[in-house]
């Protein structure tokens, strides 16, 4: 969930969801042998479309795979709740600029391929 959450820096508080998740909730789910923490992008009838904050591919996650939902996180001794206004602004802005971030990612990846073919890297 970088850039919002960083491993070995932030402490996350996960709770068991009491109802279906909503758009922009951060779901904890199991994929294979790993536990994943990603944001819900779309709520469907029996599954969710989920994407990490710094990834560009959507995943389909069934309701049964969801274990918990992010309630809050701690950074440098301060608690941030998912209900805080600053958090709500952050997630909406970060998802609003997603098309621009995805475009820049594709351009950078394409430029890297060209540079490698021309033996510039």
Average pLDDT over residues 37-52: 95
Looking at the domain covering 11-117, what would its CATH class be? mainly beta
pLDDT at residue 56 greater than cutoff 90 = no
Q: What pTM does this model have?
A: 0.82
DSSP 33: T
Phi/psi for 20 (5° steps) reads: -65, 150
Percentages helix, strand, coil for the chain (3-state, rounded to 5) are 30, 35, 35
- Residue 4 — pLDDT band, cuts 50, 70, 90? confident
pLDDT at residue 2 greater than cutoff 80 = no
Each domain of the chain, given as residue ranges in start order, spans 11-117
Residue 42: beta bridge partners?
A: 49
Average pLDDT over residues 84-90: 92
DSSP string, 33-60: TEEEEEEEEEE-SSEEEEE-TT----EE
pLDDT at residue 1 greater than cutoff 80 = no
């Amino acid at each position: 969930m970088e850039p919002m959450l960083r491993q070995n820096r932030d402490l996350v508080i996960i709770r068991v969801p009491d109802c279906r998740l909503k758009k922009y909730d951060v779901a904890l789910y199991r994929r294979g042998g790993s536990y994943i923490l990603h944001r819900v992008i779309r709520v469907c009838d029996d599954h969710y479309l989920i994407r990490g904050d710094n990834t560009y591919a959507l995943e389909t996650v069934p309701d049964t795979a969801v274990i918990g939902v992010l309630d809050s996180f701690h950074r440098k001794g301060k608690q941030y709740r998912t209900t805080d206004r600053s958090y709500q602004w952050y997630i909406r802005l970060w998802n609003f600029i997603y098309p621009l971030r995805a475009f820049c990612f594709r351009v950078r990846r394409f430029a890297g391929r060209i540079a490698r073919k021309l033996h510039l890297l």
